[in-house]
Structure formats: C-alpha cells, structure tokens
Amino acid sequence: MNQSERRSRIAYQVALQRVGDYGFRAAMTRLGALVVLTVTLGFSSPPWFVWLILAFALFSTYLSVSDNYYTDKPESVTPINPIAAKSLAYSNRTLGLNRPNIPGILEALSYVPLGILGPWLLADQPPAVRLVCVAASLVYIGSCLGAVFGDPAFYNPDVRMPTFIEGVRASVGLLSAGIAAAVILPAPWSSDARWVALALCAALIAVQIRLRETDRAFVLARAFSDNEQIVGRQAITASLHSRVGAPLDALARYITRNKDADPDLHDQYRLLVGGYREVLEQDSEADLDIEWPGVLAGQLQQLLGSRGIDMTFTHPEDPLSRWDRYTATLVLADFAQNAVKANATACTVSLGFDANTMVYTATSIDNGDPINADAWMREGGGLVRLDARLRERGGRISYRTLDDGWKEVTGHWQSSRD
C-alpha cells in the first residue's frame, strides 16, 4: 500500500482523534511490561546497573502515559510534574507532523538496554527468569514500534515521508524480528530455551500485521466516506439538472445564432456551461474541486470528452487569480473547440506557470487537420479577440506544426498576481 492510498483527510482526522485512547493504551501496555520486569527481577539479584536501565525505561514510559492521558484534556489541565508538562506541550505542538516527541526519543534509547537485559546482562540467572525478561522487553519494544509507525503523521495527506522511512515501515515486523533474533539468540541458552527465545523474537512480526490492519481500516473508511459524499452530491446534481439543464439548452440555441453580434455574451455563456458541467461531474468524483480547475476542467470535458476525443489535461495545483482563471478558461476552451473542428482524435491540453517570469502558458497539441495559414486569425474570429486580450498582458497566440505532423497552439500572458 503506497502513501497516496493510505493518506487522506478522514484517516488523518481519525488518527488524531484516537491518539489519546490508542496512545494511552499502548503506553499502559509498556508500563505493564516494565512491571513484569520489575517483579521478575525482584526474585533475583541483578547487578545495580540493571535497576538503572529499568528506572530509565519506567521514567520514559511515565512521560508517555502522561502525554497520552492529558492529550484529550482541556488545555488548562496539565500535569503537576514540570517535566511532564514540558513534554506534553512539545508533543501537542508536533502532533501529526513527523517529528519525534520526548517520550518517544527516551523510549527508543531503552530498546537496546532492555533487549540485551535477559540474554546477556542476566546470563547467570535461571532460564525462566531470562525468558520472562526477554518476553517483557520485546512487548515493550513492539508496543513502541507500533506507536511510532502508527503515528498520525503517516496518515497526514500534507506530509510525505522519505522513501527510506516508508521502506522501513513496510517491513518493520520482519526487520525488528530479525534484529531481535540476531541480538538474543547468540547468547548462552540451553537448547530448549533458545527455541523459546526464537519464538518470542518471531512474535514481533505481529507489529506488521497490526499496522496493515490499521492502514486497511482507514482506506476502507475513506472509500465509504467518499461514497457517502457522492450519494449526497447525486441528489443535488439530479435536482440541478432537472431545473437548469433544459433552460440552458434552449439558451444555447439563441446565443449560438447571435454569437457574432455579442461575442462577450457568448464567452460568458461558455463559462456558465463549463461551471454547470463541472458541478454535474462532482457526483462521480469525491475529490473534485469546483474552485480549481473547476470550470475549466468541465468545459474541456464537455468539448473533447463528450466527442470521444482522447484528452489529457495538466495544470498548476495552486489556484489562479480570478482574471487568470477567466483567461485560461477562454483560451483553452477555444483551443479545444478548434481541435474538435479539425477532427482530432487526441488532444493534450496543458497550462503552465513560470514563477520566475510570472507568465502563464496555455498549450493545445492535437492530431487534427493542419492549420490553414490563410485562415489563421481571420477577421472577427474568436482567436483574434483572444489574441487582443493576451496582448494587453504582454502575450500572444501562436502555432507551429510538429515533426510528427501534430500541431501545437500556444497562448501566453503575464499573470495578474500581485
């Protein structure tokens, strides 16, 4: 499952809302594992530094329990302990932003000491004591890994993780089990105890299963949410079509007959129809945005897609200013209309923006009939009006024939952005 499939607004919001409950439960699981370690060591005589390792892990988990407990509390309710209060404040600022929090860093520092505790530091203890310590330590480490790679940042649609991090997440179960086996199994064990230790290491694979389950749940939730949006939109667009569609068709006949008498009215009508078509399209795509490329995408779909022309449309992600959007819609719609008239079967439409020169470039490439140079920019034609509009902004319309026989029509203009 790639990042785009996993990340969505609904997944991110649900992940954020469950931080308090999920994180608190996970922290309490780690605390329980440390309690088991403490009780087990209480029946033996470990070296003094073992207690130091355990104390550091307990303090780290205390901060994690505190952070998650107070996450859902009002901002005025904070831990009494000043260290825990500072940790909570930092965690709240970095939540969902792919930044490690203080408890996470401290708990990560406990992985290796706890991992070598049972197999190496307590090698003189009975096998049962050592295996219990191994089991408790692996529960602690597995819980931490689940919390790290189940963080809301992995579902935030505005965040992209490095490829390396995504690769580790995709195989964290096998990696952690392999590393644990490499550290634990070479220790001095009896034959039977080594098999038990191997089984405990293999149990870390469950972390991968847990992450996959969570990812799939969020993907399915997104599909359900999108479908609910579509159902609601269909009710609106059906009503819109029944009330507006017929009057628009009647209006089209009048405006088309008189477009030479009032070309500005004809342009405004094309904008209206493009917006209308775009609204109708929203009942099939939950992520379609009316603001941008909204009207323009609808207009192109109407002109090219409805006539069976294979269309490709690329555009800047950032919204355009009102004047630039209006101009781009008229220019590319005219280019597309000319491709239809030229009997094209394929058309690539694009809108580019050069941030250095603040210039927009609208381009249409199609395999239709060649342009007649004598008829190019005929007096009173639509291209003449558009060319005059672009020249007001330091631009123009031009064309050229490509080596493969396709033709390219280009219009550029200076952006109206401040």
Residue 282 scores a pLDDT above 70: no
Residue 319 scores a pLDDT above 70: no
Per-residue pLDDT averaged across 347-365, rounded?
Answer: 89
Asked if 12 contacts 152 with a C-beta cutoff of 8 angstroms, the reply is yes
Residue at 116: amino acid letter: I
Asked if 410 contacts 398 with a C-beta cutoff of 8 angstroms, the reply is yes
Q: What is the pLDDT of residue 223?
A: 83
Is residue 311 within a helix (H) or strand (E), and if so which, with residue range? strand 310-314
Per-residue pLDDT averaged across 341-349, rounded?
Answer: 87
The candidate with the shortest Cα–Cα distance to 347, out of 308, 394, 387, 296, is: 308
Q: Where in the chain is the domain with CATH 3.30.565.10?
A: 287-414
Q: What is the pLDDT of residue 286?
A: 52
Q: What is the pLDDT of residue 381?
A: 64
Q: What is the dihedral of CA 321, 324, 330, 336, to 10 degrees?
A: -100
The Cα–Cα gap between 408 and 362 comes to 10
Q: What is the pLDDT of residues 157-204, one digit of tens each?
A: 888 888 899 999 999 999 999 999 999 999 999 999 999 999 999 999
Q: What is the pLDDT of residue 300?
A: 74
What Cα–Cα distance (Å) separates residue 220 from each residue in 13, 212, 226, 375?
15, 12, 10, 55
The Cα–Cα gap between 128 and 119 comes to 11
Asked if 150 contacts 208 with a C-beta cutoff of 8 angstroms, the reply is no
Buried b (16+ CB within 10 A) or exposed e, 4-36: eebbbebbbebbeeebbebbbebbbbbbebbeb
Q: What is the pLDDT of residue 100?
A: 82
Residue at 255: amino acid letter: I
Asked if 390 contacts 411 with a C-beta cutoff of 8 angstroms, the reply is yes
Percent of the chain's residues with pLDDT above 90: 42
Return the CATH fold of 287-414. Heat Shock Protein 90 (3.30.565)
Residue 285 scores a pLDDT above 60: no
Q: What is the pLDDT of residues 246-262, one digit of tens each?
A: 788 778 778 877 777 77
Q: Please, what is the end-to-end C-alpha distance for the chain in angstroms?
A: 42
Question: pLDDT band at residue 293, thresholds of 50, 70 and 90?
Answer: low
Residue 112 scores a pLDDT above 90: yes
The Cα–Cα gap between 280 and 237 comes to 5
Q: What is the pLDDT of residue 44?
A: 87
Tokens representing residue 214 in the block: 């969570």
Percent of the chain's residues with pLDDT above 70: 89
Mean pLDDT score across all residues of the chain: 85
Packing angle of the helix pair 206-240, 172-184 (nearest 10 deg):
170
What Cα–Cα distance (Å) separates residue 107 from each residue in 54, 73, 115?
11, 23, 12
The Cα–Cα gap between 23 and 15 comes to 10
Residue 20 scores a pLDDT above 60: yes
Residue 278 CB partners (closer than 8 Å, separation 6+): 288, 290, 294, 295, 297, 298, 299, 301
Q: Where do we find the tokens 């993780």? A: 161
